[in-house]
């Protein structure tokens, strides 16, 4: 009798277990269907706003390897790859008119046709065609509104009304592990979607662009995705797909996107003024080592950014900051390094109001200030200076420190040399300072540009340059000769 009772109890328990398992399976199935439907809904919502971008260039040069300063060029032989073309470079073809063609993605961010994409997608393009796929394919010739090489972003404009568009989400609110979807045109395959998770945030030290604060994802990203959106499961943009880590040029699960907060700031500034006006604090920063902590009699393990120099009449100077101050907190965020503070500042527009806590002689002080402007004279791609094969800037405390030149030196500094150009052939390198052209002192980028435009194209240019403490004359052909 006891044996029968035991068997009966065991049978009831087993049936209860089976019933619970069936219920769990049903719940799991429902959960899976709900998740699947979420991805379906996002794809339906977002795909109409994602566009294919075809760029034509009559220069006869590859879009991906037109200059030695292009940060994506080095990735073609290494681990990193820009991905607006075939593995190892841009998607290139040559039509009967000898146009070089590259392809990428972008997405519409306003009903009247503003589009965000990557700068390297449209770089050097003479004609930009936007292809939009709804019920029928539509083509638009786009206008380049402006670009920001520092973040590898560009803004285009097409004529349209009531276009499907995507909205930005606060990228500072995303979390590692959350689901995400990448949308674009890999290998020219229209409106492809791929899903994955956020692998990491605030990735830097990748040498992809000057301002690095990337989102990392394992969503499949391949050649052609460049400039497309990375979205969350509400269909809002959290990033702009920019680069991948790969030995082959194809996806291995390590992709990087520019955060939406940076993309939104760049878009709004370019839309309103055609360029990006970043905040300027007016300091030279350096890392705070253990030895410096001891030297400044700071508590062991103190983190922050050490101010080495303050620019006169800058926001920092007006707020009373001094060399030797250590910034330990900026806008409520703990400062762990000088690089972190530089990145934080680069994401802010001029005129931003900020609070910071500093250590001065071991005592903490609170500083409030309004950030200044980082606008500077810079030559533009396509102008007469560019024909020489260089990009130049006015000398500022920031680039003076970078290139090891005096901040008060007169002239314009070379910041980029294009591969195969006249300047490259002469051995010019970033950090070279152009002092005099045909006997005229160069006080600004505009003065350098004017000296080239007014010179006789039949005559050679005589340029006095300064590099690493040594001056030398160069006699070169006029760029329009």
Task: Provide the annotated active-site residues.
Answer: 120, 152, 226
Structure tokens at 25: 């399976």
Structure tokens at 73: 């060029």
| Residue with the two structure tokens 């269907």 | 33
Rounded Cα distance between 377 and 92, Å, is 33
Rounded Cα distance between 255 and 150, Å, is 19
Host H or E run for residue 185: none
For residue 354, give the 3-state DSSP assignment.
Answer: strand
Rounded Cα distance between 441 and 25, Å, is 80
Contact 287, 338 (CB under 8 A): yes
Contact 431, 403 (CB under 8 A): yes
Rounded Cα distance between 273 and 351, Å, is 15
CA 159 to chain centre: 26
Work out the burial of residue 296: count CB atoms within 10 Å of its CB; fewer than 13 is exposed, 13-18 middle, 19 or more buried. Answer: middle
Rounded Cα distance between 187 and 271, Å, is 30
Secondary structure (DSSP) of 145-213: EEEETTTTEEEEE---SS-----B--GGG--TT-EEEEEE-GGG-TTEEEEEEEEEEEE--S-SSSS--
447: left (phi over 0), alpha (psi -120 to 50) or beta: alpha
Work out the burial of residue 358: count CB atoms within 10 Å of its CB; fewer than 13 is exposed, 13-18 middle, 19 or more buried. Answer: buried
CA 433 to chain centre: 27
Rounded Cα distance between 413 and 394, Å, is 6
Rounded Cα distance between 225 and 181, Å, is 12
Helix ranges (H only) for 290-369 are: 290-295, 315-318, 338-346
Contact 215, 174 (CB under 8 A): yes
Rounded Cα distance between 208 and 125, Å, is 21
Angle CA(102)–CA(108)–CA(109) in degrees, nearest 5?
135
Q: Of 464, 480, 274, 243, whose CA–CA distance to 385 is shortest? A: 480
Q: Of 287, 350, 338, 281, whose CA–CA distance to 311 is shortest? A: 281
Q: Of 224, 263, 259, whose CA–CA distance to 244 is shortest? A: 224
Strand partners, 128: 55, 142
């Amino acid at each position: 009798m006891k044996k029968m009772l035991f068997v009966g109890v065991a049978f009831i328990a087993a049936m209860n277990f089976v019933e619970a398992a069936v219920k769990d399976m049903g719940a799991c199935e429902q959960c899976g269907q709900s998740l699947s439907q979420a991805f379906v809904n996002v794809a339906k919502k977002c795909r109409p706003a994602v566009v294919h971008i075809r760029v034509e260039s009559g220069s006869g040069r590859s879009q991906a390897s037109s200059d030695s300063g292009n940060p994506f060029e080095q990735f073609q032989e290494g681990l990193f790859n820009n991905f607006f073309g075939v593995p190892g470079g841009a998607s290139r073809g040559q039509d009967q008119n000898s146009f070089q063609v590259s392809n990428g993605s972008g997405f519409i961010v306003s009903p009247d046709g503003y589009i965000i994409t990557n700068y390297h997608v449209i770089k050097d393009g003479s004609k930009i065609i936007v292809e939009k796929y709804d019920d029928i394919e539509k083509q638009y010739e786009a206008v380049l509104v402006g670009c920001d090489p520092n973040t590898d972003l560009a803004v285009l404009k097409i004529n349209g009304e009531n276009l499907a568009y995507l909205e930005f989400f606060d990228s500072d609110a995303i979390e590692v592990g959350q689901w995400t979807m990448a949308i674009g045109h890999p290998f020219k395959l229209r409106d492809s979607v791929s899903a994955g998770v956020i692998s990491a945030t605030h990735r830097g030290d990748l040498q992809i662009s000057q301002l690095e604060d990337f989102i990392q994802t394992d969503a499949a990203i391949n050649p052609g995705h460049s400039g497309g959106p990375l979205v969350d499961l509400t269909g809002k943009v959290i990033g702009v797909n920019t680069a991948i880590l790969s030995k082959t040029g194809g996806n291995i699960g390590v992709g990087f996107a520019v955060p939406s907060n940076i993309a939104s700031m760049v878009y709004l500034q370019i839309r309103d003024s055609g360029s990006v006006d970043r905040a300027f604090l007016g300091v030279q920063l350096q890392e705070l080592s253990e030895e410096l902590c001891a030297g400044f009699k700071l508590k062991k393990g103190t983190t922050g950014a050490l101010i080495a120099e303050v620019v006169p009449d800058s926001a920092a100077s007006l707020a009373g900051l001094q060399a030797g101050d250590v910034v330990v907190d900026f806008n409520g965020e703990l400062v762990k390094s000088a690089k972190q503070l530089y990145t934080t500042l680069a994401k802010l527009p001029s005129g931003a109001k900020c609070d910071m806590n500093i250590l001065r002689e071991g005592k903490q002080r609170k500083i409030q200030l309004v950030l200044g402007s980082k606008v500077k004279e810079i030559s533009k791609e396509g102008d007469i200076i560019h024909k020489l094969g260089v990009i130049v800037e006015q000398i500022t405390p920031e680039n003076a420190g970078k290139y090891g030149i005096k901040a008060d030196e007169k002239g314009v500094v070379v910041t980029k040399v294009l591969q195969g150009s006249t300047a490259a052939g002469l051995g010019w390198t970033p950090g070279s300072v152009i002092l005099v052209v045909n006997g005229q002192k160069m006080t600004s980028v505009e003065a350098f540009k004017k000296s080239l435009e007014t010179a006789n194209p039949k005559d050679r240019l005589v340029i006095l340059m300064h590099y690493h403490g040594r001056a030398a004359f160069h006699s070169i052909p006029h760029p329009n000769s």
